[in-house]
Amino acid sequence: MKKEVLILNPHFLPGFKSGGPQQTVKNICDIYSSRAEIYLITLNCDLGEKTPYDLPVNQWLERYNIKVKYVSIKGYNYKLFAKAYHRFHAIYTCGLFCSNTYHMMFIHRFFTEKNKTLYVAPMGVFSKNAIRSKGLKKQVFVKFCSAMGLFKKITWSFTSEDELKEARAVVGERNIRNYLIAEDLPRKIDFAKSRRNLSEKEKNQLKIVFLSRISPKKNLLEALQILNTHFEGRIQFDIYGIQEDTAYWAECEKKIAQLPGNIKVLYKGEVRPEDVIDVFLHYDVFLFPTKGENFGHVIYESLAGGCVPLISDTTPWKDFERKECGAVVPLHDEAGFREKIQNYILYSPDKFRQIKMNAIRYAEKKYESSADNSGYNIIFLEDEKL
345-373: per-residue pLDDT in tens?
A: 999 999 999 999 999 999 999 988 877 77
pLDDT of res. 383: 59
Question: In terms of domains, do 180 and 60 share one?
Answer: yes
Does a structural domain hold residue 385? no
Does a structural domain hold residue 308? yes
Question: In terms of domains, do 66 and 15 share one?
Answer: yes
Question: In terms of domains, do 204 and 156 share one?
Answer: no
For residue 162, what is the domain's CATH number? Answer: 3.40.50.2000
Question: In terms of domains, do 226 and 160 share one?
Answer: no
Q: Which of 274, 255, 278, 251 is nearest to 265 (CA)?
A: 255
Does a structural domain hold residue 66? yes
Q: Which domain holds residue 94?
A: 3-185+370-380
Question: In terms of domains, do 266 and 171 share one?
Answer: no
Strand partners for 234: 205
Residue 43 sits at φ, ψ, to 5 deg, of: -75, 155
Mean pLDDT value across residues 185-199: 92
Question: In terms of domains, do 271 and 361 share one?
Answer: yes
Does a structural domain hold residue 272? yes
Alpha helices, DSSP H, located in 33-70: none
* Residues 6 and 88 sit within 8 Å (Cβ to Cβ): yes
Helix (H) / strand (E) containing 235: strand 234-240
Mean pLDDT value across residues 227-255: 96
Among the residue ranges 23-27, 112-116, 129-133, 358-362, the one predicted with the least confidence is 129-133
Question: In terms of domains, do 28 and 177 share one?
Answer: yes
pLDDT of res. 29: 94
Instruction: Provide the domain count of the chain.
Output: 2
Does a structural domain hold residue 386? no
Question: In terms of domains, do 125 and 259 share one?
Answer: no
Mean pLDDT value across residues 24-37: 93
| pLDDT above 80 for 326 | yes
Question: In terms of domains, do 147 and 240 share one?
Answer: no
Question: In terms of domains, do 13 and 153 share one?
Answer: yes
Question: In terms of domains, do 259 and 313 share one?
Answer: yes
Question: In terms of domains, do 64 and 174 share one?
Answer: yes
293 vs 321: CA distance, rounded Å: 19
317 vs 12: CA distance, rounded Å: 25
| pLDDT above 60 for 52 | yes
126 vs 7: CA distance, rounded Å: 21
Q: Which of 83, 100, 94, 110 is nearest to 156 (CA)?
A: 94
Q: What is the 3 state secondary structure string of 306-336?
A: CCEEEEECCCCCCCCCCCCCCEEECCCCHHH
- SS3 call for 24: helix
∠ CA 238-244-248 to the nearest 5 degrees?
75
